[in-house]
Amino acid sequence: FQTHREFDAHELVATCFDARSGLNAIIAVHDTSAGPAMGGCRIAPYQDMDAALTDVLRLSRGMTYKNIMAGLPYGGGKAVIVADPKAQKTPALITAFARRVGQLGGTFVTGEDVGTTVEDIQLMRQVTPHVRGIPENGPGDPSPMTALGVFCGIEAAVRHRLGRGDLAGSSVIVQGLGAVGFRLAELLHRAGVRLIISDLDPQRLTAARTAFGATIIEPDRCHAAEADVYAPCAMGGGMNARTIPELRVAIVAGAANNQLSTPTDGERIASRGILYAPDYVINAGGVISTALEGPGFDRAILLARVKRIATTLEEIFGRAAGQKLATSQVAEEMARERLVIARTRATQT
Ligand code: NAI
């Protein structure tokens, strides 16, 4: 484990085993300078512990960047449980995991992710207070706020790159019509956007075509369709050496996590003159929604905070243009700058 490249960048990496429930998990706390590490709990049938470790370390660092760029008083962390969520997820497993989260005493706060549901989080809440995403405590499902943040981000990108004051008459490809993508398509449709859509699920496609009069495109060719904006809202890793040369858009701005296959893919997109909205900045609406839940939850404050994603993106776009850097490089630079400030403050208190 210690030989792992990301390992020493983390404050804490805890393995969690429980023979009785079969729990086999890793909790990674990347950075707590800005506050407790917050990140979801993913349940997936990883091939081995090394694959699980690689994923959790990458994701927890990503959460530090996401939270600090969203201006939240949280650091970054993530948990993975090695299990098939369909076949091996039991109440005993969830409870055993929650006990481990509780043992960390609030250093790590967790919530829903791939493989976990609101019901799982509610069960965890019976064991530890250090969970977020309980519908009774605030906004509930984070996806609508993720979609709103992406919508505002697309508006900012279109303003910056195409000089248009609004989206009416623009065209956007939405890849993936799930919890986020469908809502994003709805917002775009209302703003007068011409939609090109793709999904693996025929029912979702039919629903979106009927509701928004959208044009359907084959999933494997959707990145290569011609439009103003490409909004990846399905899986990560879609921007790579094969797909980037085939893009026929001015802007890439969508909800999917980890869109760049490698860090240099950000530069590859920029070198084609395409404006990329860094994923962990534009898709932060959900985490903002989760962070603001609790007593005194105020929807107006939440909406204002989510809309501020556009302002952060404008700063990134402006700096990238001024310094002739890729937006991915500038976002990383800004996240590091903010981390240095948070670390200095943390050591002074
Ligand atoms: P989801 O699972 O509800 O929807 C994903 C959709 O993509 C499904 O309809 C699926 O059929 C489709 N899909 C999968 N592979 C595809 C392909 N190759 N081509 C076209 N469509 C494909 O997921 P959700 O919640 O909408 O999230 C979408 C993305 O946004 C994910 O990458 C997620 O990590 C990210 N994200 C989601 C947040 C949220 O609040 N739900 C927050 C931040 C990021």
- The secondary element (H helix, E strand) that includes residue 152 is helix 143-162
* Per-residue pLDDT at 219: 94
Residue 96 sits in a domain whose CATH number is 3.40.50.10860
Contacts of 235 (CB under 8 A, 6+ apart): 176, 256
Query: Three-state SS string across 305-347, please?
Result: HHHHHHHHHHHHHHHHHHHCCCHHHHHHHHHHHHHHHHHHHHH
Mutate to test the pocket of ligand 1, among 174, 283, 288 (most ligand atoms within 8 A of CB): 283
pLDDT of residue 3: 56
Give the mean model confidence (pLDDT) for residues 302-329. 98
Domains held by the chain: number = 2
Tell me: pLDDT of 165 over 60: yes
Angle made by CA atoms 217, 222, 226, in degrees to the nearest 5: 95
> Phi and psi of 24, rounded to 5°?
-145, 100
Same domain, 288 and 328: yes
342: in domain: no
Mean of the per-residue pLDDT values of the chain: 95
- Here the CATH number for the domain that contains residue 309 is 3.40.50.720
- The separation between CA 172 and the C-alpha centre of its own chain, rounded to angstroms, equals 20
According to DSSP, residue 222 is labeled G
How far does the centroid of ligand 1 lie from the alpha carbon of residue 345, in Å? Answer: 36
Q: What percent of the chain has pLDDT over 90?
A: 89
Which atom of ligand 1 is the closest one to the Cα of 287?
Answer: 42
Q: Please identify which of the residues 66, 78, 89, 324 carries the catalytic annotation.
A: 78
Residues 209, 317, single domain; the answer is: yes
Is residue 70 included in any domain, yes or no? no
Task: Judge whether 236 lies within some domain.
Answer: yes
- Say whether both 128 and 150 belong to one domain: no
| Interval between CA 151 and ligand 1 midpoint (Å) | 15
> Residue with the nearest Cα to atom 30 of ligand 1?
256
pLDDT at residue 141, rounded to an integer:
86
Burial of 48 (0-12, 13-18, 19+ CB in 10 A): exposed
Asked whether residue 68 is assigned to any structural domain, the reply reads no
Nearest CA to ligand 1 atom 18: 219
ipTM of the complex: 0.99
CA 256 / ligand 1 centre spacing (Å): 6
Domain span holding position 206? 143-337
Q: Taking residues 178-192, report their average pLDDT.
A: 97
Closest residue to atom 25 of ligand 1, CA basis = 179
Distance 239 CA to ligand 1 centre (A): 15
Residue nearest to atom 8 of ligand 1 (CA): 178
The reply to whether 250 and 125 lie within a common domain is: no
pLDDT greater at residue 289 or residue 141 = 289
Kindly report the protein residue whose alpha carbon is nearest to atom 33 of ligand 1: 256
**What are the pLDDT digits (tens) for 87-140?**
999 999 999 999 999 999 999 999 999 899 999 999 999 999 999 998 888 888
Measured from the Cα of 289, ligand 1's closest atom is 40
- Residues 22-71 have pLDDT tens digits of 999 999 999 999 999 999 999 999 999 999 999 999 999 999 999 999 99
The tokens describing 7, both together, are 């390992």
CB contact at 8 A, 266 and 260? yes
Clarify whether 78 is annotated catalytic.
yes
- Residues having CB within 6 Å of any atom of ligand 1: 142-143, 146, 175-181, 198-201, 204, 219, 233-236, 255-257, 283, 286
- CA of 233 from ligand 1 middle (Å) equals 5
Between the CA of 331 and the centroid of ligand 1 the distance, in Å, is 23
- Closest Cα to atom 10 of ligand 1: 176
Instruction: Based on the fold, state whether residues 199 and 86 are members of the same structural domain.
Output: no
Of the candidates 132, 165, 180, which is a domain's last residue? 132
pLDDT of residue 230: 98
Q: Report CA 148 to chain centroid distance, whole Å.
A: 13
For residues 236 and 149, state if they share a domain: yes
pLDDT confidence of residue 242: 97
Confidence band, pLDDT 50/70/90 cuts, at residue 9: confident
